[in-house]
Amino acid sequence: MPTHDGLTYDGVLTHRITVARPPHAVYDLVADPGQAARPAGGVVHAERVARHDGGDVIRRWVAEKGAIRSWTARRELDPDAGRIVFEHDPPKPPLSAMRGEWRFTEAGPGTTLVELRHDWAGPAPAERLDQGIRAQLDALKYLAERDADLTACEFLQGRIRIVPGRLEDVAGRPGRTLVDGAHARVWPAGDRLVWRQIGDLPPLYRSLRGQAVLTQVPGGVLVETRRIDVLDPDAVRDRGWDAARALRHVTETRNEHDIDPRRDFAAARPAEGALR
């Protein structure tokens, strides 16, 4: 079994996939946590919460089987070597350690061999971990190879309004997560909500997600909402649509999932006398 920093690891998994994009382009997609939620899948949100010399700390939320898992990882980023080393900090019990490494090497003109290794100490559901990693790599391959197509089928819509009241009366509890029917919601901070539709997507859609940010202003609470509708590029192409026609479809057929601050942020607050 491998060792690191004096700790012996109980399990190792190594996965590989070939991607038809240059190494630097694939590296950038993994290094940027803002890209994690773009492919279809269960990633609700990922963000950089800190930076340090040579790396960063990210937090990631994933919807899986009616619940949301989250973890924090410290990363060492080396774009010149095409290498990202990560370690869960802290590891989720019953694991006492979880670390790994991404490698991006040229496998031919405009092609990258992606290698992803995980090492862990303690009991781990290796089969579930293996399935999750394979899905993650498949999503990365799709995102990297279809990045331009996906970008052409992404439509950003925003809304700003003011609701009466104080921020502390509207804000949710930081760290709260909720799967409510077809929607997964995460409150990275009390004044910020991120959501993703994880079921019953409208026809032709690949993904639907959004966020809301609250700010105290004179006269109430400023609510800034944003939603990103992503259509399936192949479905759009098969119908012979251009970007304008695709946008019209989004506008005409989208389900009106919007943020009601008092309703949605209240879901992140404990009921009186109870801890939720």
* Residue 28, in any domain of the structure: yes
16 & 137 share domain: yes
* Residue 275, in any domain of the structure: no
Q: What is the DSSP string of the chain?
A: --EETTEE-SEEEEEEEEESS-HHHHHHHHH-GGGTTSSSSSEEEEEEEEEETTEEEEEEEEEETTEEEEEEEEEEEETTTTEEEEEESSPPTT-SEEEEEEEEEEEETTEEEEEEEEEEES---HHHHHHHHHHHHHHHHHHHHTHHHHHHTEEEEEEEEEESS-HHHH---TT-EEEETTEEEEEEETTEEEEEE-SSPPTTEEEEEEEEEEEEETTEEEEEEEEEEEE-HHHHHHTT--HHHHHHHHHHH-------IIIIIGGGSPPTT---
Q: pLDDT 10s per residue in the chain (276 long)?
A: 565 565 677 899 999 999 999 999 999 999 999 999 998 789 999 999 999 999 999 999 999 888 999 999 999 999 999 999 999 999 988 888 999 999 999 999 999 999 999 999 988 888 888 999 999 999 999 999 999 999 999 999 888 989 888 898 888 788 889 998 888 999 999 899 999 999 888 888 999 999 999 999 999 999 999 989 999 999 999 999 987 888 888 887 665 555 565 666 665 554 433 322
* Residue 8, in any domain of the structure: yes
Q: What is the CATH number of the domain that holds 78?
A: 3.30.530.20
* Residue 193, in any domain of the structure: yes
26 & 123 share domain: yes
* Residue 22, in any domain of the structure: yes
- Which of the listed residues 125, 145, 165 is the one where a domain comes to its end? 145
For position 273, what pLDDT does the model report? 30
Domain that includes residue 80, residue range: 3-145
134 & 12 share domain: yes
Is the pTM here over 0.85, yes or no? yes
Structurally, the chain folds into a number of domains equal to 2
45 & 101 share domain: yes
* Residue 71, in any domain of the structure: yes
- Which of the listed residues 107, 129, 145 is the one where a domain comes to its end? 145
For position 275, what pLDDT does the model report? 27
